[in-house]
Amino acid sequence: MRHSKSIRLRVMRDDVIAFGPGKAALLLAISQHGSISAAARALAMSYRRAWLLVEEMNASFREPLVATATGGANGGGAHITALAQAMLMRYAHMSAKAEAAIAPDMAYFESLMVITGEADPD
C-alpha cells in the first residue's frame, strides 16, 4: 500500500503533461466504459476536465489516442486507439522498471520512517 503512489512518471511536452498517471487512468477508463462521459463519471472527474485531458493527449502525439464516434451530441461514444493501447502497456512496463530500480532506496527511506500507528510527536 505504501508503495502504491511512490512513483509518478510524466512524459512532458514543454509545460504540458503529454502522458502521466492521470491520463493513463483516463484512457483505461475510456476503454472500459466506452465514452468520455462514462469514464469521467467512473473517475469522479468532470466531463469538462476529462475532455480537456483527451484534447491535450491528442494534440501532443502524432496520432490521436482517443477517437470519438460520430453520432448525436455526446451520443457516439469513444474508444482508445491501437497507439493508446500500446502506450498504456509501455507506461505500465516503464513504471514497473522504475519501481524496481528504486526499491533499495525506498527501503532505506522507509527504514527511517515512523511506523504508522506509533504516536506522532506533536
Using CB under 8 A as the criterion, which residues of the chain lie in contact with its own copies when the complex forms?
1-14, 18-19, 58-63, 83, 87, 90-91, 93-94, 97-98, 100-102, 105-106, 108-110, 112-114, 116, 120-121
Contact by Cβ (8 Å): 38, 72 = no
Q: Which is nearer to its own copies, 73 or 113 (CB)?
A: 113
- Residue 112 CB, shortest distance to its own copies, in Å, is 5
CA-to-CA distance for 19 and 8, rounded, in angstroms? Answer: 11
Q: Closer to its own copies by CB, 30 or 91: give it.
A: 91
Please give the backbone phi and psi of residue 17, each rounded to the nearest 5 degrees, phi first.
-80, 105
State the cell numbers at 110.
Answer: 522507509
